[in-house]
Structure 1
């Protein structure tokens, strides 16, 4: 086995040995060497479907940027302009964002939603700025919800701040659920149909789709600590804020297409990114997360290789999901990583896993370059 693949496999096997994991998978692409590696452990491999959860938002960003390029959507137009219901009097979304007696609902733009600057509360987990992953689905309680439920819950949870204000990016699944409805309003199709046309078929992805049928048992069940949970009604309700199913192999195909310009103009997206702090050590721009991990956070995981202790961790761009899924590009390191640790309760496990994999890839490349240089030296 290739030394790098052996190293990554060992990292995956270590995770699966823990009772919190029923499967772990990662696909790596080294831009410098052109080599790719597929690793799986437990019930996951590179071709086994899993729930992308929050990483779905990166797919939504790609679709929105396509629509922006086509002139079908403008970033600074109020999102309600694109909703079918709101074209007929805004009955459903009336007073969605009210703060201190002022209704800001009609001031929320597509840009605000994409950058988590809408100021809306969250219909799902986060209420105001309090962070908690305690939710009924974490206990295996399966319930579905409609768009009307999303609106009602968001309204009842209350707004955080006026749209476009605040130093931080205030994460809320509501933002991307609304963006899914924007896409549907513009395209005149369901989000699943748009996704299939603009992402799956365009890239030739046969195992990547929006989860809509609760009877579908293809994706591996998520883990919540040591419990495997079956929540098909909930997963079918997420749609644009967490409902994509994919595989490690196909998520890598999407990730490379995203950053290499096969789906939209990447410089345009990056030019619109006004980075704001979100969950430490992450920042959020326009539909894109930037992860800047400090040295002290990685130090406890480098003690076996002390020569790496003070090596800088380069910024990563992409998205991570509550289910331990990740889609990231490390441009300075020249590495792409995509996969999941399939664990709801501790997303940090995914971050550690992908960072160790990126560092192992860089170390392997450097060692290869050293061996090549040595073999070419005189004598």
Structure 2
């Protein structure tokens, strides 16, 4: 780590928290050897404050899928129809007049290569904008019904194609529950919380569970129904301290055999609205030699961000981990830009 990195990190954090959009924030940076740890909080937040993981929770779902595969209880090549009722799925993926639903595999979902549309960005009925206006709940049946009203973007597994959609991971959650014979919350407990001794990380099951508020511009939103509905695609609550423990374990082979990672490192560019992000097997890849860094960066970031402002990324070139939260729905690209800046200064 550069001797001036701490000062550079502080400058970058102070700059982003000076925005009137950011009401609270936290960041934690550590190296893989445990020799370096730096953190900052803003607006009353620190590394033990609860935060909504949002789509970082997809890494939890990925962990469960890989652990079950390691046990021999499923294969990434398994058809989705092996685990979810045909009648419920029928008509989910109809592309150019041909039904592809029966061809959807666990791998298609994990790699965001199903071609299914994202109802939260593409549907007028159930979008992130609706959640900002009014808290509401939904379940997998709703997700499937809403998705059937939209057109897929390509046939499943089309080479070089990926399209980010939450339903991919909601369906994976249903697969995990079927295979493991438990709820997704219990699966997280079995495969993640217990092995890592996480005590402040949980998937809220009811509005009575503590669910942090989410900021949208100057508003502070309470969305317990919506967060409880996200489940396998991003409803988990954690802290920066415990998120760091998980992220190191995910990329360090403590939750599943790390030998599988090479099969996950097959990245395809996502839709234009996702910027420089490519998606592999359950996680994002962001190259640092891009227009956003004036092509001065090198290496890549691996991990995930959340639309609420959360982030969890590993920078293999420097063996550094970045986790935290900016808690701002109105600026979903900010956490990625922020981590890219931090990596450039490391």
Same topology, TM > 0.5: yes
SS at match of 2:27: strand
CA distance in 2, matches of 1:193, 1:49: 20
Compute the TM-score of the two structures, normalised by the length of structure 2.
0.92
Q: Partner residue of 1:221? A: 213
Quick check: 1:254 aligned with 2:246?
yes
**1:299-378 pair list within 5 angstroms:** 299=294, 311-360=296-345, 362=346
Give the Cα separation in 2 of the matches to 1:123 and 1:3.
44
Relative to structure 2, which stretch is displaced further, 49-58 or 274-283?
Answer: 274-283
1:232-243 equivalence runs, <5 A:
232-243=224-235
Q: The residue matched to 2:122 in structure 1 has which SS?
A: coil
Deviation at 1:186, TM superposition (A): 0.5
Change (3 A) 1:33 1:212: closer
Contact 2:39-2:47 at 8 Å conserved across structures: yes
Equivalent in the alignment of 2:103: 107
Give the secondary-structure state (helix, strand or coil) at the position aligned to 1:26: strand
Are the structure 2 counterparts of residues 33 and 103 from structure 1 closer, same or farther at C-alpha, using a change threshold of 3 Å?
closer
SS in 2 for 1:92: helix
In structure 2, the partner of 1:74 is 75
State the partner residue of 1:25.
26
Structure 1 segment 89-168 matched on structure 2, within 5 A: 90-126=86-122, 135-139=129-133, 141-165=134-158, 167-168=160-161
Deviations 1:214-238 (A, max 9, x none): 1223x43111122211111000000
Classify the secondary structure of the residue corresponding to 2:19. Answer: coil
- Asked if 2 retains the 8 angstrom alpha-carbon contact of 1:341 and 1:350, the reply is yes
Question: How many Å separate the matches in 1 of 2:301 and 2:165?
Answer: 21
Q: SS at the partner of 2:120?
A: coil
Q: Does 1:298 align with 2:290?
A: no
Query: Offset of 1:6 from its aligned partner?
Result: 5.2
Q: Tell me, what secondary structure is at the counterpart of 2:69?
A: helix
Deviations 1:200-226 (A, max 9, x none): 111011111112221223x43111122
- Give the unaligned 5+ runs of structure 1: 300-309, 363-379
Decide whether the 8 Å contact of 2:92 with 2:101 is kept in 1.
yes
> 1:121–1:155: 8 Å Cα contact kept in structure 2?
no
How many angstroms apart in 2 are the aligned matches of 1:48 and 1:237? 22
2:248 aligned with 1:263: no
Residue 181 of structure 1 and its aligned partner are, at CA, apart by 0.4
CA distance in 1, matches of 2:25, 2:66: 31
| Structure-1 residue corresponding to 2:284 | 289
Rounded to whole Å, the distance in 2 between the matches of 1:295 and 1:121 is: 27
Give a deviation string over 1:302-334, Cα, whole Å, max 9, x none. Answer: xxxxxxxx7423211111111111111110122
The 2-side partners of 1:4 and 1:164 are apart by: 42
1:31 shift after superposition: 3.2
Partner of 1:302: none
CA contact (8 A) 1:133 1:345 kept: no
In structure 2, the gaps of 5 or more residues are none
Correspondence 1:44 to 2:36:
no
Contact 1:325-1:342 at 8 Å conserved across structures: yes
Contact 2:54 2:308 in 1 (8 A): yes
Corresponding residue pairs, total:
340
- Larger deviation, residues 238-247 vs 22-31: 22-31
Q: TM-score, normalised by structure 1?
A: 0.84
Is the alpha carbon distance of 1:77 and 1:146 closer, same or farther for their aligned partners in structure 2, counting shifts above 3 Å?
Answer: same
Structure 1 Cα separation of the partners of residues 32 and 70 of structure 2: 27
